[in-house]
C-alpha cells in the first residue's frame, strides 16, 4: 500500500473514532495492520475477552513470527488456562491445553509437561512458581505489564504503536477544502450553493442571468446559520411548546399558575425566553465583508455529520437544506476568545497530606488560599495552603444521637462510619456545609484560624445525602439537600427548619444546582437514572423533565457570570459527557470532545471565570475553552492522580485543587496564583486567621486596614515567643503499648499505611505488631493514645522472625519495608531477606543470603516487584523479586549503605551511608548523578558505624537527612544543604517527617523527643523523658527510633532501648505541639535560606 493510501487509512480511523463506530475502527486497525491500539488491547485483556485479544493480535503477528510474539501468545493462553483451573472448570482447562498450549510443546516440551501437571493439583498455587498468584484481576494486571513490554520490544510492532499527530476532524477539513476548490472552478458560482452529495463533483447551474459574485468575497459554506443554532419550529420537535401560561420557564413568574401543574415533558431548560425562529431565518449569519479567504472547518466548528440528529433538535431543523461542513470566519468573534493554556493553573505549588481519600473540596469565597476538604471516612479539614497548615479538623461524629431518626440510630449502631459526599462554603464564607453518606448534614460556623464551631445538625434524608448547596430564596439564606430517598429539601440555614420538600424523581437524587435569573429563583436536580428536573420555590411540582446525555449520573453548574449552563456526567457504561445547554430550548448546545470512554466513577468538573471548563479524567486534568469543543490542554499534576480525581477551582481561577491517589491534595497555580502563594509565604502572615468579616470583599481594599492590627500582633507575639517544654505526664498524652513477649531493644519502627497498626523489629530479629480495634469508641480504628491496642498474633502462635543464622547481631543493621497495601513486610536482620505475610506471619520466601548482608530496603515507587537493597559491602542492588534477578549494582559509597529514598518527581534514588555521604542515582539507567559528604561539625568524634538516613519531603524535591550530629534539609537534585540543625551535646538517634511534612519528629539519646518546624528547621516543642518515661535511676532508657502516623500530623511513636514502644500526642486541648517560632507560618521548603545553625542549638 502506498504511503498516501496508508495515511488515508489513518484519516478514516480518526473519522470512525470520532463518529463512535467502535467495532469498525478496531476491525480496520487489525485488517490494515497500521496501528496497534494499545488501549483497546489493554481493555480487552483486563476484561478477559481472550478470543478478541487473539483475533486483534492476529492482524499484526502470528505465534511463530519471532520469540517476542511466541511469548506474547504463550502468556495470554497460560493466563486463560490458569483462570479455568482457578474456577475449577477442568473441561475448559483441558480444551485450552490441547487447542491453545500444545503448539508450544514443540519449542519447550518440559514446560508443556509442567503445565499439564497443574491439572492434577487441587490448587495450582501449590506449584512453587505459582505460589504468589493472586486473584484474577491482579494476575491480569501483572501479565499486562509484561505483555506491553514484549509488544514494545517486538520489531513487528515498530512504528505501529503511535497514532500520527492530526488535527481533529482532518478528513472533514480536506473534504471541505475540496468542495470550496470545486466551487471556485464553477463557471457560474452561486453565492449559496446547495451541495447535497459527495459522490460526484460539484457544479453550479446557470443562474438565469447575471453571474454570481466570486466565492472569495462570498464564502459558500457557513453563510447559513449553524444547524444547532435553529430553535425547534412548530410543535413537531421533541421539546414541544407547553400550553397556557408556562410556555417557557421565563414566563413562570409573570403568569403565576392558579393551580398545580404536572411536569411538562421536555420543556425548556432555562429561564430565557425562546429565540424567535422567524427572526433567525430572516437574519441568517453572514460572513464579515472584509473576509478575504475561507477558514476551513476544524474541530472548533460543530460537527454536523454525526449519524444521530443533534440532541434536543427538531426533525424539521435537522432537514433544513443547509450545507454540510460549515466553516467559521477569521473575523467572526465569540463572546469569549480562545485562551492560552499558559493562563491555566498547571504548576504544582503545594502538596497536602489529608490522610484519607478526598471526596469533595471547596475554596473559601473570600480568603482564596483557604481550602475545605471532605474525605471517604467522614473527616473534614480546613487548610491554609499558603502556609501548608491544617487549621481545623473534624471526624465524623453525630452531635445529638437522641434527636436522630431510629433508622439512622440503627445504621450507626451497625457501623459508625460515613463518607463525606459534599463540602461547601456559604456565599459569605461564614458557614460551611457537609453532606454525609448517612442521613446527616452538618453546618459549621467558621470564625477564622482553627475556630470552627458546631452550628446545625440536620437529619436530612433517609440514607445517603448526595449533595448540598446554599441559596437565597426570599432573601433568606437556605441550604438545599438531596438524597437517596428521591427528595430535594430546603432548610433555613439559621434555624434548621424545613422550608420546602420537592418530590417527583423516580430514582435517588444525585445533585442540585440552584440559580436565579431575572429575579426568578429555581433549582435544577439530577437523579442517578439520568433524569433532570427543575423546581421553583412554590411546591407546585417539577417544571422540567428531560434526559441527560447518555442517561448519565450528572452534575450541573453555571458559568461565573450565571449566563451559561453546563453539565458533566458518566453513564453506567463509563462513557462521560461534558456539554453546554441551550436553556431556552432544553437542548444540548455544545458537546465537548476528549472525555474517556471507560471512566472510573463519575467524572467531576468545574468552571472558572466564564472562560474555562476542567474535568478530572483518565488520571489527568483536562481543560476546555468554553467556546470550543476541542480539548484545550491537559495537566498530569506531576503524576499520582486517581482515575477520576476530584477537582476544584479557587473563586478567581488562579488555583486548582486536585485529589491524589495517595490520600492527598495537590494545589496547581498559574502565574497569578503562584504570586498569591509566594506573597503569603514572604509575609509570614496567615490570612486564614483573620476573621472572615475582616477580609476585603469584592476587591474593596478599604478592608485591608482591618488587617494592620494583625501584623502588629504578630510582632508582639514574636517578642514573647518561648519554646514549649513538656516535663510532666499531665502535659502530654502517652501510651506504652502492651507487650508479653521478651523485651528487647527496638531497632526499627513504622506505622502501617492504614494508620491502624504499628510494626516494630527488635534486636533479636522478632517482629511485633500492635493493632487498634475498630469499635463504637474507636470508630476509625486508627492508632491513638485513647485506646489500647492488641499485640497481635495469628492463631498458629508463630512469630515473624528474621533469619540470623551465622550472623553477629552486634554488627547487623536490621531493616524492613512494608508493601503499600500492608499485606507483606520484607525484612532482614543481618541474614537472608525474608518476605512475611502480615496476616498469617508465615514466611513466604527468603532470598539473598549473606555475605554481603542487606542493610536497608526500599520499594520502587512504581513497581512493587522491584526493590533497592543497601548492602554491607557498600553497594546498592536493584533487585526484581518476581524474576529473582539483580538488575543493577550501584557502587559509590565507602562504607555500608544505611538509607535509601525514591523520588518519583525527580526520578531518582537517593542513598546515604555510614560514610556520611549522599549519592543521587538516576532511576532510568541507574547511573550516579552526583554525590556529597555531610557537613560534620568540626571537633566532633564520629562513631564509625553511625547511620545516615534520608527521607523525602511531600514535595518529592527536598529531603530530610538524619545523622547522629545533625538534622538537615537538602535540595535533592543538586544535594544542596538548605537548612542544618546541629545537636550541640546529645546524639540524634532518629528523625522523620510528620505525615503532612510540616513538622519533624526527632529522638535523642538523652530520652527526649523534639518537634521541629519542617520549613525552617526550628525547634517548636520538646518532650522531655520525665513526661512519658517512668523514673528509673538504675537504667538509662531512650528512644532509638521514631515513626510518624500516616494521617495524624501530630502523632508519633518511639521505640526504646528497653524494648518498649510509646505513642505520643499533644493534649486534646492544645491540638498541636506548642507554638511555631515567629514568622514560620507559611515558609515553604522552596523558601529556605542557606544552611545555618542558631538559637535552637542554644536552647538545648
Q: Name the pLDDT band for 297 (thresholds 50, 70, 90).
A: very low
Q: Is the pLDDT of residue 1087 over 50?
A: no
The confidence score (pLDDT) of residue 251 equals: 34
For 481, phi and psi rounded to 5 degrees? -130, 155
pLDDT of residue 172: 87
- 589 pLDDT above the threshold of 70: yes
The answer to whether 448 and 457 have CB atoms below 8 angstroms apart is no
Q: What is the pLDDT of residues 325-363, one digit of tens each?
A: 333 333 333 333 345 566 788 899 999 988 888 999 999
Segment 898-922 mean pLDDT: 94
Buried b (16+ CB within 10 A) or exposed e, 906-928: bebbbbbbbbbbbbbbebeeeee
Q: In whole angstroms, what is the distance from residue 392 CA to residue 382 CA?
A: 5
Question: In whole angstroms, what is the distance from residue 93 CA to residue 97 CA?
Answer: 6
DSSP of 376-393: TTS-EEEEETTTTEEEEE
Give the span between the Cα atoms of 297 and 625, in whole angstroms.
18
Q: What is the pLDDT of residue 279?
A: 33
User: In the beta sheet, which residues pair with residue 425?
Assistant: 432
| CB count in 10 Å sphere of residue 812 | 22
Query: What residues contact 385, with CB distance under 8 A and at least 6 apart?
Result: 350, 352, 369, 370, 371, 655, 657, 667, 677
CA distance 965 to 946: 10
Averaged pLDDT of the chain = 80
Query: What pLDDT, on a 0 to 100 scale, did the predictor assign at position 489?
Result: 94
Give me the numbers of helices (H) and strands (E) for the chain, helices first please: 15, 57
Question: Comparing 988 with 387, which gets the higher pLDDT?
Answer: 988
Least confident range of 527-536, 605-614, 730-739, 979-988: 605-614
Cβ atoms of 774 and 784 closer than 8 Å: no
Partners of 384 in the β-ladder: 370, 389
Q: Are 869 and 896 a contacting pair, CB within 8 Å?
A: no
At residue 343, the pLDDT reads 78
**What tens digit of pLDDT does each residue of 421-452 get?**
999 999 989 999 999 998 899 999 998 888 89
pLDDT tops 50 at residue 368? yes
- Name, in order, each residue with C-beta under 8 angstroms of 516's C-beta and a sequence gap of 6 or more: 472, 522, 562
- The position carrying cell 495517595 is 662
> Could you tell me the pTM of the whole model?
0.44
Q: Cα(804)–Cα(765) distance, rounded to whole angstroms?
A: 7
Give me the pLDDT at residue 1051, please.
96
pLDDT in tens, 218-272: 333 333 333 333 233 233 333 333 333 333 343 333 333 333 333 333 444 443 3
Query: What contacts 916, CB < 8 A, 6 or more positions away?
Result: 933, 934, 936, 942, 946, 948, 963
- pLDDT of residue 767 exceeding 50, the answer is yes
The SS3 assignment for 349 reads strand
Provide Rg for the chain, Cα atoms: 33
Amino acid at each position: 500500500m502506498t504511503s498516501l493510501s496508508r495515511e488515508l487509512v489513518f484519516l478514516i480511523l480518526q473519522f470512525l473514532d470520532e463518529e463512535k463506530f467502535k467495532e469498525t475502527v478496531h476491525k480496520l486497525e487489525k485488517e490494515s495492520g497500521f496501528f496497534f491500539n494499545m488501549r483497546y488491547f489493554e481493555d480487552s485483556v483486563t476484561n478477559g475477552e481472550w478470543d478478541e485479544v487473539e483475533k486483534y493480535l492476529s492482524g499484526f503477528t502470528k505465534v511463530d513470527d519471532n520469540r517476542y510474539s511466541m511469548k506474547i501468545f504463550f502468556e495470554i493462553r497460560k493466563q486463560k488456562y490458569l483462570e479455568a483451573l482457578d474456577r475449577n472448570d477442568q473441561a475448559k482447562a483441558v480444551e485450552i491445553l490441547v487447542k491453545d498450549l500444545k503448539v508450544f510443546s514443540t519449542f519447550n516440551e518440559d514446560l508443556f509437561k509442567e503445565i499439564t501437571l497443574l491439572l492434577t493439583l487441587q490448587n495450582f498455587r501449590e506449584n512453587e512458581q505459582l505460589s504468589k498468584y493472586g486473584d484474577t484481576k491482579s494476575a491480569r494486571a501483572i501479565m499486562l505489564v509484561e505483555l506491553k513490554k514484549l509488544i514494545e520490544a517486538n520489531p513487528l510492532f515498530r512504528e505501529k504503536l503511535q497514532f500520527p499527530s492530526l488535527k481533529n476532524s482532518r478528513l472533514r477539513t480536506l473534504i471541505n477544502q475540496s468542495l470550496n476548490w470545486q466551487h471556485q472552478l464553477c463557471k457560474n458560482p452561486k453565492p449559496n450553493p446547495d451541495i447535497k452529495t459527495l459522490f460526484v463533483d460539484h457544479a453550479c447551474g446557470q443562474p438565469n442571468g447575471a453571474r454570481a459574485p466570486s466565492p472569495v468575497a462570498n464564502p459558500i459554506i457557513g453563510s447559513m446559520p449553524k444547524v444547532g443554532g435553529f430553535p425547534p419550529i412548530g410543535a413537531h420537535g421533541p421539546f414541544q411548546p407547553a400550553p397556557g401560561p408556562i410556555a417557557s420557564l421565563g414566563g413562570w413568574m409573570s403568569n403565576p399558575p392558579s393551580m398545580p401543574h404536572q411536569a411538562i415533558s421536555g420543556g425548556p431548560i432555562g429561564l430565557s425566553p425562546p429565540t424567535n425562529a422567524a427572526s433567525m431565518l430572516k437574519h441568517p449569519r453572514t460572513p464579515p465583508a472584509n473576509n478575504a479567504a475561507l477558514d476551513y472547518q476544524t474541530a472548533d466548528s460543530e460537527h454536523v455529520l454525526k449519524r444521530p440528529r443533534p440532541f434536543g433538535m427538531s426533525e424539521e431543523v435537522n432537514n433544513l437544506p443547509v450545507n454540510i461542513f460549515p466553516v467559521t470566519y477569521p473575523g467572526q468573534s465569540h463572546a469569549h476568545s480562545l485562551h492560552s493554556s499558559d493562563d491555566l493553573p498547571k504548576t504544582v505549588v503545594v502538596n497536602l497530606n489529608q490522610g484519607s481519600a478526598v471526596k469533595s473540596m471547596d475554596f473559601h469565597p473570600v480568603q482564596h488560599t483557604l481550602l475545605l476538604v471532605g474525605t471517604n471516612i467522614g473527616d473534614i479539614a480546613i487548610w491554609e495552603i499558603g502556609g501548608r497548615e491544617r487549621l481545623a479538623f473534624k471526624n465524623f461524629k453525630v452531635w445529638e444521637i437522641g434527636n436522630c431518626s431510629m433508622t439512622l440510630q440503627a445504621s450507626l449502631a451497625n457501623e459508625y462510619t460515613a463518607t463525606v459526599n459534599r463540602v461547601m462554603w456559604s456565599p459569605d464564607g461564614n458557614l460551611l456545609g457537609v453532606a454525609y453518606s448517612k442521613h446527616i448534614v452538618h453546618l459549621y460556623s467558621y470564625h477564622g484560624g482553627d475556630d470552627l464551631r458546631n452550628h446545625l445538625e440536620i437529619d436530612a434524608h433517609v440514607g445517603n445525602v448526595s449533595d448540598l448547596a446554599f441559596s437565597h430564596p426570599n432573601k433568606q439564606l437556605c441550604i438545599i439537600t438531596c438524597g437517596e430517598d428521591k427528595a430535594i429539601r430546603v432548610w433555613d440555614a439559621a434555624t434548621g427548619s424545613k422550608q420546602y420538600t420537592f418530590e417527583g424523581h423516580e430514582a435517588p437524587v444525585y445533585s442540585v444546582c440552584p440559580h436565579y435569573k431575572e429575579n426568578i429563583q429555581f433549582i435544577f436536580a439530577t437523579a442517578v437514572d439520568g433524569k433532570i428536573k427543575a423546581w421553583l420555590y412554590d411546591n407546585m411540582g417539577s417544571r422540567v423533565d428531560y434526559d441527560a446525555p447518555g442517561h448519565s449520573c450528572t452534575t450541573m453548574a453555571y458559568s461565573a457570570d450565571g449566563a451559561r449552563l453546563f453539565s458533566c456526567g458518566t453513564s453506567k457504561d463509563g462513557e462521560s459527557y461534558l456539554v453546554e445547554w441551550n436553556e431556552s430550548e432544553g437542548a444540548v448546545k455544545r458537546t465537548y470532545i476528549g472525555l474517556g470512554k471507560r471512566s472510573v466513577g463519575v467524572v467531576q468538573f468545574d468552571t472558572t471565570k466564564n472562560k474555562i471548563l476542567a474535568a478530572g479524567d483518565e488520571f489527568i486534568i483536562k481543560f476546555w475553552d468554553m467556546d470550543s469543543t476541542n480539548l484545550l490542554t491537559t495537566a498530569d499534576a506531576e503524576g499520582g492522580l486517581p482515575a477520576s480525581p476530584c477537582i476544584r477551582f479557587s473563586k478567581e481561577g488562579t488555583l486548582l485543587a486536585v485529589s491524589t491517589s495517595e490520600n492527598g491534595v495537590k494545589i496547581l497555580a498559574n502565574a497569578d496564583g503562584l504570586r498569591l502563594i509566594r506573597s503569603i509565604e514572604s509575609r509570614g502572615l496567615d490570612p486564614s486567621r483573620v476573621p472572615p468579616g475582616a477580609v476585603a470583599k469584592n476587591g474593596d481594599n478599604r478592608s485591608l486596614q482591618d488587617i494592620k492590627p494583625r501584623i502588629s500582633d504578630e510582632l508582639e507575639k514574636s517578642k514573647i515567643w518561648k519554646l514549649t517544654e513538656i516535663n510532666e505526664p499531665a502535659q502530654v498524652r502517652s501510651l506504652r503499648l502492651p507487650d508479653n513477649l521478651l523485651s528487647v531493644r527496638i531497632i526499627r519502627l513504622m506505622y502501617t499505611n492504614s494508620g491502624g497498626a504499628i510494626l516494630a523489629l527488635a534486636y533479636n530479629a522478632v517482629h511485633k505488631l500492635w493493632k487498634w480495634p475498630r469499635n463504637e469508641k474507636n470508630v476509625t480504628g486508627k492508632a491513638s493514645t485513647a485506646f489500647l491496642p492488641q499485640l497481635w498474633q495469628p492463631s498458629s502462635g508463630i512469630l515473624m522472625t528474621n533469619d540470623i543464622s551465622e550472623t553477629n547481631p552486634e554488627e547487623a543493621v536490621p531493616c524492613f519495608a512494608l508493601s503499600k497495601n500492608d499485606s507483606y513486610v520484607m525484612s532482614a536482620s543481618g541474614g537472608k531477606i525474608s518476605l512475611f505475610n502480615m496476616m498469617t506471619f508465615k514466611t513466604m520466601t527468603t532470598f539473598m543470603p549473606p555475605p554481603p548482608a542487606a542493610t536497608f530496603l526500599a520499594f520502587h515507587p512504581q513497581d512493587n516487584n522491584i526493590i533497592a537493597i543497601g548492602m554491607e559491602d557498600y553497594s546498592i542492588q536493584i533487585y526484581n523479586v518476581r524474576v529473582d534477578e539483580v538488575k543493577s549494582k550501584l557502587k559509590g559509597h565507602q562504607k555500608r549503605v544505611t538509607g535509601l529514598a525514591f523520588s518519583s518527581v525527580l526520578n531518582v534514588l537517593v542513598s546515604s551511608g555510614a560514610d556520611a555521604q549522599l549519592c543521587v542515582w538516576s532511576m532510568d539507567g541507574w547511573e550516579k548523578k552526583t554525590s556529597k559528604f555531610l557537613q560534620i561539625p568540626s571537633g566532633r568524634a564520629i562513631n564509625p558505624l553511625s547511620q545516615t538516613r534520608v527521607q523525602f519531603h511531600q514535595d518529592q524535591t527536598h529531603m530530610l537527612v538524619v545523622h547522629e550530629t545533625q538534622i538537615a534539609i537538602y535540595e535533592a537534585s543538586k544535594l544542596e544543604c538548605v537548612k542544618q540543625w546541629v545537636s550541640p551535646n546529645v546524639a540524634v538517634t532518629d528523625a522523620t517527617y510528620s505525615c503532612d511534612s510540616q513538622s519533624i519528629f526527632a529522638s535523642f539519646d538523652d530520652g527526649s523527643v523534639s518537634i521541629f518546624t519542617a520549613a525552617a528547621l526550628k525547634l517548636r516543642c520538646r518532650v522531655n523523658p520525665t513526661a512519658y518515661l517512668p523514673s528509673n535511676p538504675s537504667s538509662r532508657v531512650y528512644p532509638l527510633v521514631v515513626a510518624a502516623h500516616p494521617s495524624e500530623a501530630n502523632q508519633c511513636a518511639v521505640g526504646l532501648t528497653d524494648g518498649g514502644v510509646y505513642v505520643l500526642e499533644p493534649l486534646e486541648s492544645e491540638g498541636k505541639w506548642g507554638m511555631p517560632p515567629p514568622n514560620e507560618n507559611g515558609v515553604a521548603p522552596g523558601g529556605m535560606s542557606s544552611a545555618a545553625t542558631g538559637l535552637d542549638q542554644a536552647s538545648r
